Amino acid sequence: MNKRLISSLVIGSVASIGVMAQSMAKETKNTQNVDDPYIWLEDVGGEKALEWVEKQNDKSLSYLKSKPLYKELYEKNLEVYNSDERIPYVGQMGDYFYNFWRDDENPRGLWRRTTLEEYKKESPKWEIILNLDELAEKEGENWVYKGSNCLYPTYNRCLINLSRGGADATVVREFDIESKSFVKDGFQLPEAKSNLSWIDKDTVYVGTDFGDGSMTDSGYPRVTKLWKRGEPLEIAQTIFEGNKTDVSVGAYVSHDGDEKYKIVYQGLDFYSREYYLVTDKGLVKLDRPIDSSISGIIKGQLLLELKSDWTIGDKTYKQASLLSIDIDDFVAGKKNFTEVLVPDAHTSIAGVSSTKDHVLITTLKDVSSELYRYTFKDGKWTNEKVDMPELGTLSVTGTSDEHNNFFINYQNFLTPSSLYYFDDAKDSASVLKSLPAFFDASPYKVEQKFAKAEDGTQIPYFLVMAKDTELNGKNPTLLYGYGGFEVSLRPSYSATIGIDWLEQGGVYALANIRGGGEYGPAWHQAALKKNRHIAFTDFITVAEDLIERKITDNKHLGIRGGSNGGLLVGTVATMRPDLYEAVVCQVPLLDMKRFNQLLAGASWMGEYGNPDNEDEWNYIKSYSPYHNVHKDVDYPKIFFTTSTRDDRVHPAHARKMVAKMMEQGHDLLYYENTEGGHGGAANNEQSAKLNALIYTYLVDQLMD
């Protein structure tokens, strides 16, 4: 099992916003003596701030909903999101396959399960375990399901995470699967950014807000305790304490057959961790590069993925390699590693998971997926490629350590997702379920292009467009990007892009710029901290390449990004406002002077740097959108979106940027959903609405 821990409608009640606002206020720091006239918009649930939000929402929604296209797109989107023909993806626990499902009758969702025999049928029979709509109505809360952690290997007890309105902070409650009810006086935690992990039925590791000083500057647990059933949380035994400047501290149990390994982790920054093995003699630090990742333990072999070169004696293990070592040897201090996989310049490791006897490694080769099955025997690793369609995206799901069968999802821009079932006995994969085509893909084609950056690096990007597209420089084109945190943007099927954009006559482009993980750690690290500008210039390079190839021009080019991608498009819009006619900036970071003071922002200093350090602020301020927007510059009409319930990237980033630009006289649009968390939407209806708003705006801006 891979233990890698790494990233509407007004339904929410005033009470829940108040609870959330109190929680978020504790994570918003140092507002005194800040030279910022819009600092008051950081008060998430403040009356003045919410009045301002309502005013901006009314203005933008009135404008966008007045367009005939909005209603058409909204209705089509909602039909897609609520379609019964969607694939019900599952995870296996014991003999059952579990799924979380939302539709028009169950907007908050059903947690349910079925057997493999039933799941293989076109219309499986599902056993409802928990109805979130009924729970929300009964308790008067706008609950959003945020996942569960179930007791291995029986899976009869689960720790369920419930979020108010989609925030990262959750309420945790113990749930009994067989009785389908919450356990009276069971393990439970009030709303916080917590982590709980089972040790056995009556013992868990817990990290949560224990009171003053128990959380890191990033707003995550600093202390991990061992909590026994029935005892007050206050007397739980402290296992490990990290530093306030750490990102987070936690503990979990990794299972390898009958063996159980208890591991404590200390997140020093976003990319550096210490790991400790819990032994009878205390904690034993695992001696490895702090930027390496533990990818699991199988057959006694600990898997270690390197983010940088590692020299041991006269041997250098290359960056991006996946290594293995007998865990007992490793704990004893030996370094006799075996190289499982050493990617080449065109390849990166996209995912590592395991079955009973095999390690499954998904790779990206020039941003297209390949899947390999690795086996450890007689001290050596052998591998075979799993035969799957090419030039698309593969993802492994539904693995189990009880057998060697698993699911593989395949998709590309024009091919709806197909779920394959790999049967170990047959040694092959076959299609089990397929998503229907929500739009006619036959008129379109996909091409991969490369744009040459100033330093000579070839930046790949994908184009999805009509086969008869004329290279006249006037095609409405939407360019999407992210470029951060080693996140890879891969070919994927999107019904909303097909219906809302391609069918309207648009061209879609996906940029694989540096800062992402498309070519492994080096691709990511090229745009870290003082080199952040490389991500921005790569994106601009792709935009200019689209224009040079006469796909589009600056009057028909729009860009879109969210979160770190919101920072990306916000930055390039201020750097090169002449290059774009439309900008969709979602749940963004924009005030890079205060990002580390807002919510989880301190955890991202490993990516951007520390703005409180003068040397680092000197390069951060050169691109911080909030500090580089000016009254006398013509900007495109930007559409900003965020969520009141986003407790990861503070909504004040978007709020303050909008307020400043409005005062400077710039025309723009702003929409803040009161639910949705960092995803921007908490249910299917909200997702349908948000996308309809965005594409109505894009069509209005880019299509003559």
pLDDT of residue 21: 46
- Average pLDDT over the chain, rounded to an integer: 94
Given 3-state DSSP classes, what are the helix, strand and coil percentages for the chain, each rounded to the nearest 5?
Answer: 25, 35, 40
Kindly write down the DSSP assignment for every residue of 454-500, as one continuous string.
Answer: TTS-EEEEEEEEETT---SS---EEEE----TTPPP-----HHHHHH
C-alpha to C-alpha distance for 297 and 550, rounded to whole angstroms:
51
Tokens of 96: 């059952």
C-alpha to C-alpha distance for 166 and 173, rounded to whole angstroms:
17
Q: What amino acid is encoded at 491 in this protein?
A: P
Other residues' Cβ atoms within 10 Å of the Cβ of residue 164: 27
β-bridge mates for residue 430, sequence order? 421
Other residues' Cβ atoms within 10 Å of the Cβ of residue 631: 10
Dump strand ranges (E) for 270-337. 272-279, 282-285, 293-298, 301-305, 310-312, 315-317, 322-326
Low-confidence ranges of the chain (pLDDT < 50): 1-23, 25
SS3 159: strand
Q: Give the up-direction half-sphere exposure of residue 123: CA atoms within 13 A in the CB hemisphere.
A: 1
Listed in sequence order, the residues at least 6 apart from 47 whose beta carbon sits closer than 8 Å to its beta carbon are none
SS3 17: helix
C-alpha to C-alpha distance for 698 and 248, rounded to whole angstroms:
39
Distance of CA 511 to the CA centre of its chain: 17
Catalytic residue among 395, 556, 678, 687: 678
Q: Give the up-direction half-sphere exposure of residue 487: CA atoms within 13 A in the CB hemisphere.
A: 15
C-alpha to C-alpha distance for 555 and 661, rounded to whole angstroms:
21
Written in H, E and C, the secondary structure of 235-269 is HCEEEEECCCCCCEEEEEEEEECCEEEEEEEEEEE
- With both helix axes pointing from N to C terminus, report the angle between 684-702 and 68-81 in degrees, rounded to the nearest 10: 140
C-alpha to C-alpha distance for 95 and 677, rounded to whole angstroms:
33
SS3 419: strand
Asked if the bond preceding 153 is cis, omega within 30° of 0, the reply is yes
User: Contact at 8 Å (CB) between 683 and 110?
Assistant: no
Describe the strand order of the beta sheet including 237-241 as a list of residue ranges.
195-200, 203-207, 223-228, 237-241
Residues in the chain: 704
Dump strand ranges (E) for 345-452. 347-354, 359-365, 368-377, 380-385, 393-397, 406-411, 418-423, 428-434, 444-452
User: Contact at 8 Å (CB) between 174 and 187?
Assistant: yes
Listed in sequence order, the residues at least 6 apart from 528 whose beta carbon sits closer than 8 Å to its beta carbon are 515, 606, 607
pLDDT of residue 9: 22
pLDDT of residue 704: 77
Tens of pLDDT along 475-523?
999 999 999 999 999 999 999 999 999 999 999 999 999 999 999 999 9
* Residue 378 burial by Cβ neighbours in a 10 Å radius (0-12, 13-18, 19+): exposed
CA distances from 683 to 78, 141, 422, 563 (A): 10, 14, 32, 19
pLDDT of residue 31: 64
C-alpha to C-alpha distance for 14 and 23, rounded to whole angstroms:
14
Whether 563 sits among the annotated catalytic residues: the reply is: yes
Angle at 237 between CA 232 and CA 239, to 5 degrees: 145
Q: Which residues of 433-446 are buried (b: 16+ CB within 10 A; e: fewer)?
A: bebeebbebeebeb
Catalytic residue among 563, 603, 643, 687: 563
Q: What amino acid is encoded at 141 in this protein?
A: E
